[in-house]
Amino acid sequence: MLTEQEKTLIRELQTGLPLSSRPFAELGDKVGLTEQRVLQKIEEFIEKGYMRRIGAALRHRKVGYAANAMVVWYIPEDQIEKIGQQLAQHKDITHVYQRKYHQSWPYNFYTMIHRQTRAECYHFAAEIAAAIGIKEYQLVFSTKELKKSSMHYFTENSHNKELNFKDRL
């Protein structure tokens, strides 16, 4: 079971790191821990499976990537594992998902790509398709970002305050 101080640390971590040269020291000051102890706690949370990682979310539109596309693929079931691994290893693909397909929407695999223009997205998707040998794909472009956020735990608005943090993952 997590202590109140650990829950406070998790609440602080999920709001983003301070923009400073020593963000974990600054975070530690807020929650009453040393910088070293914050880093140890994060390592412990990862080891116990409470957290997967700490990552940075780049606001792609603000740095010049105005076009982002979900590339939807039809990949034969017996090739999913092999091709999925190839796509997941590609540095320019940010998300990789397998989904069930339906007769009216035959695509069973989804990847996200980001480029400066739609034309560049089409070109990149064609290169990837040729590399993996898949011809059945479409690009679905975002037209407007309506929400971009992560889950928040141990907040006043948590639906089930009694539920163990690990159980919510």
pLDDT tens per residue across span 69-92: 999 999 999 999 999 999 999 999
CA–CA distance, 125 with 109 (Å, rounded to integer): 13
Instruction: Determine the average pLDDT of the residues in 89-96.
Output: 92
DSSP secondary structure, 42-64, as one string: HHHHHHTTS---------GGGGT
Instruction: Determine the average pLDDT of the residues in 18-37.
Output: 94
Amino acid identity, residue 142?
A: S
Domain 60-141 of CATH type 3.30.70.3460: yes
Every domain of the chain with CATH number 1.10.10.2890 lies at 1-56
Every domain of the chain with CATH number 3.30.70.3460 lies at 60-141
- How buried is 77 (Cβ within 10 angstroms: 0-12 exposed, 13-18 middle, 19+ buried)? exposed
CA–CA distance, 136 with 24 (Å, rounded to integer): 46
Q: Phi first, then psi: what are they for 66, rounded to 5°?
A: -80, -20
Higher-pLDDT residue of 107 and 68 is: 107
168, pLDDT greater than 50: no
Q: What angle do CA 153, 113, 136 make, to 5 degrees?
A: 115
CB 34 within 8 A of CB 22: no
Choose among 125, 71, 77: nearest CA to 97.
71
CB 95 within 8 A of CB 163: no
Q: Considering only the C-alpha atoms of the chain, give the largest distance between any 2 of them, rounded to a whole number of Å.
A: 56
Residue 48: its pLDDT value, please? 93
Residue 65: its pLDDT value, please? 76
Residue 58: its pLDDT value, please? 66
Amino acid identity, residue 110?
A: Y
CATH topology of domain 1-56: Arc Repressor Mutant, subunit A (1.10.10)
| Look-up of token digits 């929400």 | 147
Instruction: Determine the average pLDDT of the residues in 141-161.
Output: 70
Instruction: Determine the average pLDDT of the residues in 11-26.
Output: 89
